[in-house]
Amino acid sequence: MTNAAENESEILGRRQHLLAPTYQLFYAEPLQIVRAEGVWMYDERGRAYLDAYNNVPVVGHCHPLVVEAMARQAGTLNTHTRYLAEQPLQLAEQLLATMPQEVGRVIFTCTGSEANDLAVRISQVVTGGSGFIITDFAYHGTTHVTAGMSPEGGGPLGAGVYTVPAPRSISDVAAFGEQVRGCIERMRHSGVRLAALLVDTVFSSDGVRTHPVGLLASAVHHVHAAGGLFIADEVQAGFGRVGEAMWGFQRHGVVPDLVTMGKPMGNGHPIAAVAARPSTVAEFAKHRHYFNTFGGNSVSCATALAVLEVIRTEGLLENASRSGEYLRRGLHALAERSGAIGEIRGAGLFIGVDVGTNPVSGLSGSAEATRLANGLRQRGVLVGTTGRSGDVLKIRPPLTFGLEHAKLLLEALDETLHRP
Amino acid sequence: MTNAAENESEILGRRQHLLAPTYQLFYAEPLQIVRAEGVWMYDERGRAYLDAYNNVPVVGHCHPLVVEAMARQAGTLNTHTRYLAEQPLQLAEQLLATMPQEVGRVIFTCTGSEANDLAVRISQVVTGGSGFIITDFAYHGTTHVTAGMSPEGGGPLGAGVYTVPAPRSISDVAAFGEQVRGCIERMRHSGVRLAALLVDTVFSSDGVRTHPVGLLASAVHHVHAAGGLFIADEVQAGFGRVGEAMWGFQRHGVVPDLVTMGKPMGNGHPIAAVAARPSTVAEFAKHRHYFNTFGGNSVSCATALAVLEVIRTEGLLENASRSGEYLRRGLHALAERSGAIGEIRGAGLFIGVDVGTNPVSGLSGSAEATRLANGLRQRGVLVGTTGRSGDVLKIRPPLTFGLEHAKLLLEALDETLHRP
């Protein structure tokens, strides 16, 4: 073995002896990453990988302005929300400025799981209901209650959790609403009172379902008519990823009662939040306390403020639109030359590509999607797979991903499709 | 109004318009803190406050070695556990080195709530049980399931959650075990299968119950005999706070199945973990996945490694023992001169002081405890209150709190007791 291979084998052994076997690694040949910058990650041999997968480092890995803001605040003060402080207020102000005016209050947490868990608690207390509607391959978190709303994780559904199929048609704008209406009917027949509809507004784990624009409108209408709340899970879709808007729900012309956000919020630093209509959280506060030790701490807020500033000053929504559009056009061109590429969906820099049968490799569906992800990794490009059948390529790079990076990705994919 | 008072009033107004009303502030006259260093916090007027309350900045506010380690890693790489990396392995190694050898695996989360929530999930899956025993004024977190195990928060208990009184006698080493044994009997009669006993090993919210040493042994024996697991919640007790040991459970001579930790782990940075017996998490992993995006990320782990290093190199366990002992002796001396001070409990730098009737103020119990906390704040010393009746002073400073700081606290308390 080479030194690098020995090192990887040694690290794998130590993982087995130190970490719980719940941990999983990416790729048939796992990657040891030692540093990263912008859209590039580097392994211990110094080899560069183009990151077309990680949405968390939304403004690029190790952005100097974000690191500096974090370090400066960490050297000055890091404390909680039970003292008066500027940082959480400034952050709440800037977040709410990106939302519809009906959404007017913020509660900070540390992870998207905690944000969704809290949104669930708020929905139960405010509506008196216990029924939740999610999509049938959703992912909403790792806590007890959110794991029960995450069929992607493989565990059992929680009590009162009902599923609907994720949107399939990219043209029928009312189809998803009909599914939700039918589900509310089923709940009513079972005597379960609706608390909320909880959806990832780009339906990431369901295979990236972004179209038709407006598909959430009738669903939200039916939920409100039945006395339920609409929770927009923006943990994956939020912070400009969809390009044309800061939040995924804005593409569909709906106003949520609760908005949850996380992953990209601190560019890797653990910060997340729930934004809500004032009346909703006022009702919750009558019945429950909520305090999160690290939620809204000085350093996390300073970090998230720097992320928002970089998104604005570097024009990352515009870049996401431009690079995403370029990528989708390139993917369509590849599809014309390879039967392995089926439907191409997405908005901004969140793209899902259905994988069919590749006559060159003789593989199809999830086997071909896995081969493509591993083949791209060998060629120095990082993507993932998703969807109920694992047959969707997930392309979701930092929002600083430029046209030159999109070109590299398309070239590597072309090669992987045609040379197994 | 002075400029500072105007500023505070303006901040209060903005909080009301931006944050949910679930947020609460400390003290009748809330503090605006703008910077902190070591055991000192500073308000916007530049006034210094001796921090005898905050356990999160365990190695002192803004410790330069911790800030530097965090900033260095944040400028190099911040990614998740699905790539191979050194940082989580080094941290797991160092944490497990402080544990009994039976505890051999780690799973990283971001908050103590997430750690307790995961420990609950693991207990349910591994035992097949749904019954949990907690103390009757426990606090274990803010997620849906841990809030249902946190009567201190005021919400309803979750399904299958049973309570026992926290230890009251400081001499009867078997009393708590008898309560737990009786509770297991009650569960059995109700047809509920025991999953776990979950206790904070210093019973913080129950009023700080640290004695007699060994009080957990018979309880854990009964739990294991009934097929349940023992979860040691070390979120408050851990990382050397009890002085004589790294973890609270070690004072009682027991070996947990699951150990949860959080608050001080990153000196304010959101990192937490579950440590477990290998067989326990192996069984869980057969049935469930677990992935936490930010859990075990490079920066959080580098930060926690720096905290562990400072705890060792600055001898903070020894300091906690020395300063804690000095404080308790001083409190006993005060108790001889003031009827307001009752029982004094604690280990290391976690101290609970029962507050009785103060003839000087004419107040007693929680009213006097609140007066003392606010009076100390006016005198520049920060402490809190706790316990079911709110009549216990909670003294829980950073572990760098020295004898000179203890002396300042005792002098300020003496004055507050005798000059209302």
Q: Give contacts of A25 with chain B, Cβ < 8 Å.
A: 82-84
Tell me what pLDDT residue B264 has: 98
Q: Do B21 and A121 touch (CB under 8 A)?
A: no
Tens digit of pLDDT for each residue in B123-142? 999 999 999 999 999 999 99
Tell me what pLDDT residue A136 has: 97
Q: Give contacts of A270 with chain B, Cβ < 8 Å.
A: 110, 270-271, 294, 297, 300
| HEC letters along B318-380 | HHHHHHHHHHHHHHHHHHHHCCCEEEEEEECCEEEEEECEECCCCEEHHHHHHHHHHHHHHCC
- Among A18, A118, A144, select the one facing B92 at the smallest CB separation: A18
Tens digit of pLDDT for each residue in B52-82? 999 999 999 999 999 999 999 999 999 999 9
**pLDDT band of A110, cuts 50, 70, 90:** very high
List residues bridging with A351 in a β-sheet.
A346, A395
Query: Average pLDDT, whole number, for chain B?
Result: 97
- Which chain A residue is nearest to residue B62, measuring alpha carbons? A75
Task: Indicate if the pLDDT at residue A119 is higher than 90.
Answer: yes
- For residues B310-332, average pLDDT: 98
Q: Of B52, B170, B57, which is closest to residue B411 (Cα–Cα)?
A: B52
What proportion of chain B, given as a percentage, has pLDDT over 90?
Answer: 97
Tell how strand B381-382 and strand A40-43 pair up.
unpaired
What CATH architecture does domain B64-313 belong to? 3-Layer(aba) Sandwich (3.40)
Enumerate residues 6+ apart whose C-beta is below 8 A from A360. Answer: A338, A340, A417, A418, A419, A420
- Which chain B residue is nearest to residue A382, measuring alpha carbons? B83
Tell me what pLDDT residue B18 has: 97
Tens digit of pLDDT for each residue in B245-287? 999 999 999 999 999 999 999 999 999 999 999 999 999 999 9
B28 to chain A nearest CA, in Å? 12
- Which chain B residue is nearest to residue A123, measuring alpha carbons? B144
Tell me what pLDDT residue B8 has: 85
Interface test with B, best of A114, A258, A396 (most B CBs within 10 A): A114
- For residues B353-378, average pLDDT: 97
- For residues A191-200, average pLDDT: 98
Question: How many CB pairs lie under 8 A apart between chains A and B?
Answer: 324
Task: Indicate if the pLDDT at residue A4 is higher than 90.
Answer: no
Q: Of B243, B156, B279, which is closest to residue A130 (Cα–Cα)?
A: B156
A101 contacts chain B (CB < 8 A): no
State how far the Cα of B118 lies from the Cα of B135, in Å rounded to an integer. 19
A137 to chain B nearest CA, in Å? 15
Q: With a CB-CB cutoff of 8 Å, which residues 198-237 of chain A face chain B?
A: none
- For residues B40-46, average pLDDT: 96
**pLDDT band of B1, cuts 50, 70, 90:** low
User: DSSP letters along B72-108, please?
Assistant: HHHTT----TTSB-HHHHHHHHHHHTTS-TT--EEEE
Which CA distances in Å does B114 have to A165, A229, B27, B261, B292? 29, 25, 28, 10, 10
State how far the Cα of B9 lies from the Cα of B2, in Å rounded to an integer. 10
B65 contacts chain A (CB < 8 A): no
Q: With a CB-CB cutoff of 8 Å, which residues 373-402 of chain B face chain A?
A: none
Tell me what pLDDT residue A1 has: 52
Tell me what pLDDT residue A300 has: 98
Domain B3-59+315-418 of CATH type 3.30.565.10: no
Q: Give contacts of A101 with chain B, Cβ < 8 Å.
A: none
A113 contacts chain B (CB < 8 A): yes
Q: Do A268 and B22 touch (CB under 8 A)?
A: no
Tell me what pLDDT residue B138 has: 98
B72 contacts chain A (CB < 8 A): no
> Domain A3-59+316-418 belongs to what topology?
Aspartate Aminotransferase, domain 1 (3.90.1150)
State the burial class of residue B276 (Cβ atoms within 10 Å of its Cβ: 0-12, 13-18, 19+). buried
Interface test with B, best of A8, A23, A43, A66 (most B CBs within 10 A): A23
Q: With a CB-CB cutoff of 8 Å, which residues 262-291 of chain A face chain B?
A: 262-263, 267-271, 274, 276, 281-282, 284-285, 287-291
Task: Indicate if the pLDDT at residue A155 is higher than 60.
Answer: yes
Tens digit of pLDDT for each residue in A202-256? 999 999 999 999 999 999 999 999 999 999 999 999 999 999 999 999 999 999 9
Q: Do B54 and A107 touch (CB under 8 A)?
A: no
Q: With a CB-CB cutoff of 8 Å, which residues 295-354 of chain A face chain B?
A: 296-297, 299-300
- Fold matches, B3-59+315-418 and B64-313: no
- For residues B188-203, average pLDDT: 98
State the burial class of residue A261 (Cβ atoms within 10 Å of its Cβ: 0-12, 13-18, 19+). buried
User: DSSP letters along B194-239, please?
Assistant: EEEEEEETT-TTTT----STTTTHHHHHHHHHTT-EEEEE-TTTTT
Tell me what pLDDT residue B3 has: 74
State how far the Cα of B107 lies from the Cα of B271, in Å rounded to an integer. 11
Tell me what pLDDT residue A73 has: 98
Q: Do B77 and A297 touch (CB under 8 A)?
A: no
- Among A18, A82, A262, select the one facing B93 at the smallest CB separation: A18
Query: Average pLDDT, whole number, for chain A?
Result: 97
- Which chain A residue is nearest to residue B109, measuring alpha carbons? A111
Q: Do B143 and A147 touch (CB under 8 A)?
A: no
Asked if B306 and B233 count as a contact pair (C-beta separation under 8 A), the reply is no
Q: Give contacts of A291 with chain B, Cβ < 8 Å.
A: 22-24, 142
A21 contacts chain B (CB < 8 A): yes
Which CA distances in Å does B201 have to A29, A65, A319, B268, B395? 43, 41, 52, 21, 16
Q: Give contacts of A84 with chain B, Cβ < 8 Å.
A: 8, 11-12, 15, 25, 30-33
Domain-by-domain residue ranges, chain B? 3-59+315-418, 64-313
Q: Of A148, A147, A177, A143, which is closest to residue A162 (Cα–Cα)?
A: A148
Asked if A106 and A274 count as a contact pair (C-beta separation under 8 A), the reply is yes
State the burial class of residue B189 (Cβ atoms within 10 Å of its Cβ: 0-12, 13-18, 19+). exposed
Structure token digits, residue B211: 């004695």
Structure token digits, residue B348: 């290391």
- Among A17, A88, A270, select the one facing B110 at the smallest CB separation: A270
- Which chain A residue is nearest to residue B267, measuring alpha carbons? A78
- For residues A376-404, average pLDDT: 98
Asked if A58 and A67 count as a contact pair (C-beta separation under 8 A), the reply is no
A127 to chain B nearest CA, in Å? 16
Task: Indicate if the pLDDT at residue A124 is higher than 80.
Answer: yes
- For residues B181-185, average pLDDT: 98
State how far the Cα of B193 lies from the Cα of B177, in Å rounded to an integer. 18
- Which chain A residue is nearest to residue B51, measuring alpha carbons? A79
Structure token digits, residue B127: 């035992």
Q: Do A110 and B294 touch (CB under 8 A)?
A: yes
- For residues B299-317, average pLDDT: 98
A246 contacts chain B (CB < 8 A): no
Tell me what pLDDT residue A8 has: 85
A130 contacts chain B (CB < 8 A): no
Tell me what pLDDT residue B377 has: 98
Q: Give contacts of B262 with chain A, Cβ < 8 Å.
A: 293
- Which chain B residue is nearest to residue A289, measuring alpha carbons? B22
